[in-house]
Homo-oligomer: A and B are copies of this chain.
């Protein structure tokens, strides 16, 4: 038979990154295209020990249905931890568990936006979130990313141009894909603008704990006196990405609607791994484990940047992140980005084309994203050298 699809999902394309990820079956390819945490960042031995104990002593609970909001001890432990460490959560806030951070973003948009409503986002931004918004029928409008976050004035102009804006979606810390961290001053101004225009902020912070340089900057949620910020994060980058355990802290009225949505999606998040996460948090030293991950990424990021400094023609510009997983590279006008990405794959190096992260899916991009958490040191050295040679070749060709 012939199929007709819904307007919301009918025109949506699968995430370009996940498609690239799927096609990367050639073991000879050096991939800088993933957004995967380093395998060493998963404390497998500790998780195995606790897991055995859950099977032994709590299997009947862990394998049974749970409640949609999440495993209560985990919710409490998460709320207590982010309150203590980051001053997140007021009396009006509630914390729930989601199936990864993305589900929190999607549920927030689903609870707030009707078809045609606008979500303003940093441009470029996390493709997964942008697609989640589009899948609800929301329109994504970008505000260009600057070195220290979006311009508050440009944000205000976008709000004035799009009065049906319902959400401002931001990854203020170690943004995906740019690696940029929004300055403290801009965070405060953005919050004030959101207040003035009475719009909600959706703050996505999956990388916040992965700082390996510079000074910590408070989250926007930590200054949220109005109940204007929906805060989403996850354990994907610090315990396990595959387990899909994330969380949301937001005003209770919004959370209640998100819970109704979550009930319709997956009823609840894998309960065994919620219990495992809770036990790990309370019986092991999560902060010490995170410091180990920071050490890994500090070293890997430094290595990649040092290789880039050495191998890349001066005409290529790139960010120098203080944490997170990504470096954002911008090609000079002489090198067409899509050609560069295609020829890189031919030379067995995969990067993500910047167009994948555009709020306007038709817009071009001179940039591409590099990931340093997944590749081995050797792959970083070889891969960056190949990209540097390719860029030099293409500059030479353009100069002819």
Contact = CB atoms under 8 A, between A and B. Distances in A.
A82 interface: no
B264 A106 contact: yes
Interface string A228-239: 100000001001
Interface stretch (A54-62, A293-301, A314-322, A330-338): A54-62
B5 A103 contact: no
Contacts of A60: 39, 42, 44
A266 B114 CA distance: 21
A268 interface: yes
B12 A260 contact: yes
Kindly report how many copies of this chain are found in the complex they form together. 2
A103 B39 CA distance: 29
A272 interface: yes
Given A6-B111, A115-B115, A226-B1, A63 B51 contact: no
A128 interface: yes
A227 B265 CA distance: 24
A160 interface: no
A134 to B, nearest CB: 8
A178 interface: no
Contact of A59 (B42, B200, B268): B42
A197 to B, nearest CB: 11
A329 interface: no
Given A47-B63, A48-B59, A9 B263 contact: no
Contact of A272 (B12, B242, B253): B242
B266 A68 contact: no
Contacts of A6: 110-114, 136
A316 to B, nearest CB: 28
Interface in A206-248: 226-228, 236, 239-244
A259 interface: yes
Contacts of A67: 18, 21-22
A63 B257 contact: no
A55 B62 contact: no
Nearest to A253: B3
Given A9-B111, A64-B36, A67-B21, A263 B15 contact: yes
A282 interface: no
Interface of A: 1, 3-10, 12-15, 18, 21-22, 34-37, 39, 42, 44-45, 47-48, 51-52, 55-56, 59-68, 99-100, 102-103, 106, 110-115, 128, 131-132, 135-136, 166, 198, 200, 226-228, 236, 239-244, 251, 253-254, 256-257, 259-261, 263-273
11 contacts: A9-B261, A12-B260, A39-B60, A51-B55, A64-B242, A65-B236, A65-B242, A102-B265, A106-B264, A106-B265, A240-B272
